[in-house]
Structures are given as C-alpha cells and as structure tokens.
Amino acid sequence: MEAIIRKFQKELNSGTSALVLLGVLSRAEEPMYGYQIAKLIEAGREDVPVKQGALYPALRSLEAGGLLESQVEPSISGPPRRYYQITDTGRAALVRWQEIWEQTKVFVDDALKGGHDV
Amino acid sequence: MEAIIRKFQKELNSGTSALVLLGVLSRAEEPMYGYQIAKLIEAGREDVPVKQGALYPALRSLEAGGLLESQVEPSISGPPRRYYQITDTGRAALVRWQEIWEQTKVFVDDALKGGHDV
C-alpha cells in the first residue's frame, strides 16, 4: 500500500515539478541558483513535493529544452554556482503549461466529485 | 516547442489518470468495463487527458496493485468484456491520493501565483 502511495506521489511530482520551477523562475527578478530556488519553493512548507535530488536534473532538462539558460559564476563562500533564468521560449511554454494545468485540475476534480452522472 | 508541450501533458496525465479512474470507479454502482469508463470520462468534454490507449494499461496496473478487481463476462453484442470494480484497498488508496492531489494543487498554484516573496 505505501509503495502505491509513493508511486502516485512520484508520478504526480514528475508531472508538476517542471511547471513549478518555470513558474518560480518566471517571476524571479534576477538569475537564481539551485539552492536558492529550492529554499524559495520550500519556504514555510512542511510537505514539499519537489525534492532537492530531483531539482538539478529538472533544471538541466529545462535548459536542454531551451526553456531556461544558465551561466556559472564564482562564489565567495564555496564552489562556483550555476545561475538559471527563464528564456522567451520558457515564457511561451509556461503559458501553455498553465492552460494544461488548469484543464487538468478541472478534469480531475470533476472525476473525483462526480460532475457526471455515475 | 510542441514536443515540450506534449511531454508536459503526457507526464501530467500519467500522474493523474490513475486518480481519475479510481475516482470514477469509487462512485460506480456496479462493475464497469473499459469502454464504459472511457465514455463516462469523456462525457461532454472536448479535451480529454485520459486517452483510450492509456486506459487499459492503467486499469491493469491498478488491478495488479490490488486497487481494482475484475471479472470477464460474456457480451451479447461482441467479445467478452472485463468488468472492473474498486477494492477496499483501492478505496483506502483513493483517500490518500486525494490528500496528495489537494496538497499538490495548492503547492503548484502557490508557485505559479507567487504565494512567496519572489
């Protein structure tokens, strides 16, 4: 039973994490590095669907798709950091993804609440 | 760009389709076969995230996990049909999945709308 719960959570996270990252970076006023993004997402939350271990692959995947771009900058307090910012392609994708997300919410909630005559 | 949109839609669907199926079958008064379930989900919708090709594997996966059970019945109008119904384990999983779904909606919407000080 717990394995099924975790599988569901994992699949749902992999579907939404790219949307969350793109949303956060679309409103960032300057480029952000991974740890900053993670802390911002985690702010004030007990149960955070985006795990740190999944964050960096998700950022790289968005960059590979042209939705983000990055540059490495030296840090005074440790190793160099990779800073990410959203691209124009990323902003266009975000608009479409938000539409899909809104449709999905309505669709799932209807199925759960019995919008139709089951 | 279209490939990225489709990839997002596909990942989101694979995360939500099991929840939709379990939700529909939790309210069904009698066992249902695949085509019935598909028609019910599609009712009155132009854009349906659950595609028929994904429906049967999803039903089999839920049965393999003990969330559904099924039996084959002869049909007067064609080949025998496999009828699915939700199990007690499936109802317990649905409660947990709905909690996760509600948390995920809040989490994603906060990230998109800027609930935090980005």
Number of domains in chain A: 1
Query: Interface pTM (ipTM) of the complex?
Result: 0.87
What CA–CA distances, in Å, run from A32 to A27, A71, A92, B59?
A: 11, 10, 20, 42
Distance between CA A7 and CA A11 in Å, rounded?
6
Q: For residue B14, is it within any domain?
A: yes
Parent domain of A64: 2-113
With cut-offs at 50, 70 and 90, classify the pLDDT of residue A18.
Answer: very high
For residue B38, give the nearest of B26, B23, B56 by alpha carbon: B56
Residue A86 belongs to a domain with what CATH number?
1.10.10.10
pLDDT value of position B117 = 47
User: In one letter, which amino acid is B51?
Assistant: K
Asked if B16's CB is within 8 angstroms of A15's CB, the reply is yes
Q: pLDDT digit string (tens) for A76-109?
A: 989 999 999 999 999 999 999 999 999 999 999 9
User: In one letter, which amino acid is A118?
Assistant: V
What CA–CA distances, in Å, run from A8 to A25, B16, B83, B95?
A: 26, 8, 23, 12
Go through chain B and tell me how many residues it has: 118
Asked if B28's CB is within 8 angstroms of A118's CB, the reply is yes
How many other CB atoms are found less than 10 A from the CB of residue A11?
A: 19
Q: Which two tokens stand for residue B73?
A: 């019945």
Q: Which of A15, A27, A48 sits opposite B11 (nearest CB)?
A: A15
pLDDT value of position B49 = 54
Q: Per-residue pLDDT for B76 more than 60?
A: yes
- The model's pTM: 0.87
Measured between beta carbons, which residues in chain A are less than 8 angstroms from residue B29? 118
For residue B100, give the nearest of B37, B15, B24 by alpha carbon: B15
DSSP 8-class letter at A90: H
The answer to whether B112 faces chain A, any CB pair under 8 Å, is yes
pLDDT value of position B79 = 92
Q: For residue A44, is it within any domain?
A: yes
Q: For residue A118, is it within any domain?
A: no
